[in-house]
Amino acid sequence: MDKALNYLALAKKGRLIELGEEPVGAVTRAVKGRLVVVASDASDHTWRRAKSFVAGTEQQVLRVPFTKEELGFVVGRTSLAIAAFTDAALALAFVKALPDQEKVRDVREALDIKAKKLRQRADEAKAHQRNVRFGKKK
């Protein structure tokens, strides 16, 4: 589980995560969140808000086995109840580092599909750029 917390810290360092209710709400409304995580001891209101943020989208929400203090410590805060990963591959790595549970498996599968789609789009964009570059030289 320490590995999962390390991914959270890495996401913070790489600016691939939004922290707190307002930033998470903004990123999910813009449909740029990939995974919303909620601390295990967060209030039921926070959990309901997180679920409402992602309702009707492909974004995932997961209550993680870490307390607000544990989540806050790894990102340099006193506590953190809710956060949203904005990178699908990093969110997938975070979920894979969590203990295997039925709910985690569903989220893992959804993130795996999303990460594959994003990789495919990136590869297609790279191939397109090569075609454009070589087309201009002729």
For the entire predicted model, the pTM comes to 0.81
pLDDT tens-digit profile of 90-105?
999 999 888 766 768 8
pLDDT higher than threshold 70 for residue 111: yes
Q: Residue 50 is part of which domain span?
A: 2-137
What's the mean pLDDT in 109-136?
83
pLDDT higher than threshold 80 for residue 133: no
Cα separations (Å) of 88 from 34, 61, 68, 131, 134?
6, 13, 23, 27, 31
Residue 1 has what pLDDT? 60
pLDDT higher than threshold 80 for residue 134: no
Concatenating the DSSP letter of every residue in 84-133 gives EE--HHHHHHHHHTS---HHHHHHHHHHHHHHHHHHHHHHHHHHHHHHHH
Cα distance between residue 71 and residue 81, in whole Å: 8
pLDDT tens-digit profile of 23-61?
999 999 999 999 999 999 999 999 999 999 999 898 999
Indicate which CATH number applies to the domain containing 74: 3.30.1330.30
pLDDT-derived band at 18 (thresholds 50, 70, 90) equals very high
Q: Structurally, how many domains does the chain consist of?
A: 1
Percentage, residues of the chain above pLDDT 90: 60
